[in-house]
Amino acid sequence: MIGQARVATGRRCGRAARLRTLVPIYLMVLPTVVLFGVFVAFPLAAVVGAAMLDWNGIVPVRDARWVALANFATLVRDPVWWLTVRNSLCFTGVMLLVETPLALGLALLLNAPGRAMGFFRTVAFLPAVTGAAVIGLAANFFFSPIGGPANAILVDRLGVLDAPVAFLGDRALALWTVCAVAVWHSVGFDVVILLAALQAVDPEVMAAALVDGANPWQRLRDVTLPAIWPVLAACALLTTVNSLKAFDYFAVMTGGGPGFSSTPMVMYMLRFATFGGGMGPATVPAVGYGSAVAVAIGVIAMAALLLEWGAARRFPSPD
Amino acid sequence: MPRPSSSSNMRLTRRALVGGSVALAVFGRGGARAPARAADGPIVWMSNQRHDQEVKEELFAAYQKQTGIAVDLQIYGDEYPDQLKLAFTSGQPPDIYRMVSPAEEVAAGWPEPLDDYLAAAPGLKETFLLGSFVPNRGIWGGRTYGLPMYAPTMRYYYNRALFERAGLDPNAPPATFSAFRQAAKQITDALRGEGAYGLILGDKYTWVWWMNGECFGNAAGAYAFDWRQGRYAYTSEGLKEALRLTIAMQKDGSLFPGYHALTDDDARQQFALGRAGIVVGGSWNIGVFVDEMKTTQPWDVAELPRPDGGALGRVQQTIGDRYTITAASPRKETAWRVLQYIYSPDVMRTMHERGMGVMAVAAANSGRSQIPGVAKVAPTPGDLVIPPEPELPTLSADPFTVMQQVVDEGGATMDRLLGDLDRAYNDALDQAVARGDLRREDFTISDFDPLTWQPRNG
């Protein structure tokens, strides 16, 4: 009896001790969980829920019509949606294949010692401190067919073109012009991050490579890249996320046009969330359908990130 | 694009399990009647009509002197619909607002029915243009909502000086499609070297094809909606004829270059600077050229051209900008007095004569004004207040983006693109009818003749 009582008392003490340890931990975690729930999980669930409704966002949601997966079925058959997917993937591809390598190249150049480098580093970073909307407005002016500097140079100075070109108003050029502006705008941000990574490369390892007779290409491939790989992968992931949700460049520069030739996925989603988004005769918002577009964008972004993450992990670690 | 199937008409019980309840919590009171503003302070008037802000402020200042009632004008830009929705969902609705999507707003309980107010103000309803109060335009569910302020007419604006320099008679602006094309070509041929072109449009935002495509088609007897059949009619020959006119002008080189990169504002600015002979626009453009752009160019106004064989229809005159009292306003009586003031024929006439546009109060459109062009935008027998069209959910393909594409592709894909558009809109309409959202008979006028049909109030 006494033994059983001691065991029971011991269990109670153990439980109490565990509680004393765990309760403060749970209390400390609780604000984060609540904030995550309110600002992330809840809205996400709401969007998924709204995607299954035929709802205009004006009448109370309780009066919306339940359509299950019909919005997604419509989306799969929607040719304009697939065009916007293509546009977003092209934009993301350009940012990954042009902007990230360009940033690496610039970071390597700017990693050289010398006082002048500080100036060039500042110049490289300058566009990144300006908002995308401001950059877009400036690009509108720069590429304008009416007195824009780009056309003035190409037509009047260089004589490369016979007549001004509407870079942002041409179905074949609009998307690529936006890509070019976005690359120029955001490359400085990656340069700064990669520069920091380059400066953290162990000089002794580099010195050892020099002693071993490694040429510049070998030093880049076998020492520098492995050393900065985690940072480079992080840059690529950030670029992918930002590019897939890009909206501001397109909204300011082309409005998604001409037609849908430069409409990204996010702009297409917003088309259904606002009044007159379709700009047809007397249209009302289709928030349910827009939510389905939002869910699809989330799925595509997640798939792209998983693919990229998988690819990044295959690369040998710096160790 | 087909809209979501209507087959699933199950009510909220299942929805609640999946996400509806979450959406309800997050989107919360979307559409619910919100607690109103405090009962003191000025009457809050919310709108996105910026062009008449200055005049309205003067008028309301005079009204405050007379009555002591202050009106706080809150004017927004393109974000207006979202701001309006936010105002209602956050419990801060205005006392008076400009309706955006009336049928849905009525369903959401935002506006106050005006039947009792109108009944207590005999003769007021009769001052409005015929067609202002018909089912699905002013009347929903048998009750009257909102009073229309403007009834814009569609015109083209031309530069008299450029006409003269190109050898055209500025007193005889082109009245037919082929004369219109010829005038644009003549201006371009004569003045391209100076950077001036025959016609400018800025279709970065494609809605301008409503003016440059659909309204031209009206004169050829084509309307987006065929009320005789109760169906959309994007494949009509009249619309194709109108688009062929623009395609021909594009092939002539008469269109201002790079117009896809221009907004309508950019286009009007270029016209105001004398770099284009013609720009198409509504009666609201007078205020834009005079007050906003302060152009010094000698511009004039003319009715849209008709097909060479003669008019087969009249050009649509829209009745819009409907203002209403908010159902949740604690000062509905005061708000109604403000509406009665602004809609009085004298005040409406002042707005018209100051170049604000064509008013929905018929007697206001005197045509008398010191401002050029006002007389020429006043309604004529060539204008038609068209019957209401159905309101559909936003579709992926809109008519104006399609019209832009048709012209870009030189008309080669016109039949296919317009056919797809027609199918998408009619499919959506059929589904709305099947769901019970709309009744086709409400939008069917079996004897509709665009040359003779006359609107009437319901």
Arithmetic mean of pLDDT over chain A:
88
pLDDT in tens, chain B (458 residues): 333 333 333 333 444 433 443 343 344 444 444 444 555 789 999 998 887 888 999 999 999 999 999 999 999 877 788 889 889 988 899 999 999 888 889 988 999 999 999 999 999 999 999 999 999 899 999 999 999 999 999 999 999 999 999 999 999 999 999 999 999 999 999 999 998 999 999 998 888 999 999 999 999 999 999 999 999 999 999 999 999 999 999 999 999 998 999 989 899 999 999 999 999 999 989 988 988 888 999 999 999 999 999 999 999 998 878 999 999 999 999 999 999 999 999 999 999 988 888 999 999 988 888 888 888 998 999 999 999 998 888 888 889 999 999 999 999 999 999 999 999 999 999 999 998 888 999 999 999 999 999 988 76
Q: Which chain B residues have a beta carbon less than 8 Å from that of A61?
A: 20, 23-24, 27, 30-31
Which amino acid is it at B123?
Answer: G
In terms of CATH architecture, what is B15-126+326-360?
3-Layer(aba) Sandwich (3.40)
Q: Which chain B residues have a beta carbon less than 8 Å from that of A167?
A: 261
B273 near A CB under 8 A: no
Going from the C-alpha of A97 to that of each of A66, A101, A173, A236, the distances in angstroms are 43, 6, 19, 9
The alpha carbon dihedral of A147, A149, A153, A154 has a sign of negative
Looking at CA atoms only, how far is residue A275 from chain B in angstroms?
6
Tokens of B201: 């449009």
The answer to whether the Cβ–Cβ distance between A58 and B30 falls below 8 Å is yes
How would DSSP label each residue in A23-35? HHHHHHHHHHHHH
Cα–Cα dist B70/B371, whole Å: 29
Tokens of A13: 């003490």
The answer to whether the Cβ–Cβ distance between B8 and A258 falls below 8 Å is no
Q: Are B391 and A282 in contact (CB under 8 A)?
A: yes
Q: How many CB atoms lie within 10 A of CB B92?
A: 14
Q: Which chain B residues have a beta carbon less than 8 Å from that of A288?
A: 4
pLDDT at A282: 54
pLDDT at A307 over 50: yes
Which amino acid is it at B446?
Answer: S
Tokens of B215: 């309204």
pLDDT digits (tens, 9 = 90+) for B226-257: 999 999 999 999 999 999 999 999 999 999 99
How many residues are recorded in chain B? 458
Going from the C-alpha of B438 to that of each of A224, B150, B212, B330, the distances in angstroms are 67, 26, 29, 33
A66 near B CB under 8 A: yes
pLDDT at A275: 61
Give the residue on B whose Cα is nearest the Cα of A67: B8
Of A45, A169, A279, the CB nearest to B19: A45
Q: Which chain A residues have a beta carbon less than 8 Å from that of B8?
A: 65-68, 70
ipTM above 0.90 for this complex: no
Helix (H) or strand (E) segment spanning residue B315? strand B315-317
Give the residue on A whose Cα is nearest the Cα of B109: A59
3-state helix, strand, coil in chain A (%, to 5): 70, 0, 25
pLDDT at A60: 84
First to last CA, chain A: 60
Which amino acid is it at B232?
Answer: Y
Give the residue on B whose Cα is nearest the Cα of A258: B260
The answer to whether the Cβ–Cβ distance between B22 and A272 falls below 8 Å is no
A152 near B CB under 8 A: no
Domain parsing of chain B, residue ranges: 15-126+326-360, 154-317+391-443
Helix (H) or strand (E) segment spanning residue B345? helix B345-353
Tokens of A237: 């992931």
Q: Which chain A residues have a beta carbon less than 8 Å from that of B435?
A: 65
The answer to whether the Cβ–Cβ distance between A169 and B270 falls below 8 Å is no
What is the DSSP secondary structure assignment for residue A98, as one 8-state letter? I
pLDDT at A1: 56
The answer to whether the Cβ–Cβ distance between A258 and B12 falls below 8 Å is no
Tokens of B16: 């609640």
Supply the pTM of this predicted model.
Answer: 0.84
The answer to whether the Cβ–Cβ distance between A65 and B435 falls below 8 Å is yes
Cα–Cα dist A306/A224, whole Å: 25
A-interface mutation test, from B101, B394, B400, most A Cβ less than 10 A away? B394
Cα–Cα dist B99/A191, whole Å: 50
Angle at B305 between CA B287 and CA B218, to 5 degrees: 90
Give CATH for domain A72-314: 1.10.3720.10
Tokens of B88: 């209602």
The answer to whether the Cβ–Cβ distance between B4 and A168 falls below 8 Å is no
Dmax (CA) for chain A in angstroms is 104
Look at residue B128 and give its three-state secondary structure.
strand
Give CATH for domain B154-317+391-443: 3.40.190.10
Cα–Cα dist B451/B314, whole Å: 6
Give the residue on B whose Cα is nearest the Cα of A143: B261
Cα–Cα dist A300/A303, whole Å: 5
pLDDT at A120 over 90: no
Q: What is the mean pLDDT of residues A171-191?
A: 94
Look at residue B228 and give its three-state secondary structure.
coil
B-interface mutation test, from A44, A47, A48, A66, most B Cβ less than 10 A away? A66
Compute the count of residue pairs across chains A and B with CB atoms less than 8 Å apart.
223
Which residues are within 8 A (CB) of A189 and not within 5 positions of it... i.e. 6 or more apart?
A103, A125, A128
Q: A220 versus B10: which is more confidently predicted?
A: A220
Give the residue on B whose Cα is nearest the Cα of A62: B12
pLDDT at B393: 82
B85 near A CB under 8 A: yes
Cα–Cα dist A163/B447, whole Å: 52
The alpha carbon dihedral of A144, A150, A152, A154 has a sign of negative
Angle at B240 between CA B236 and CA B244, to 5 degrees: 170
Cα–Cα dist B245/B181, whole Å: 7
Residue (of A297, A271, A294, A293) closest to A284 by Cα position: A271
Of A67, A145, A274, the CB nearest to B4: A67
Of A74, A165, A257, the CB nearest to B204: A257
pLDDT digits (tens, 9 = 90+) for B81-133: 888 988 998 889 999 999 988 888 998 899 999 999 999 999 999 999 999 99
Q: How many CB atoms lie within 10 A of CB B217?
A: 28
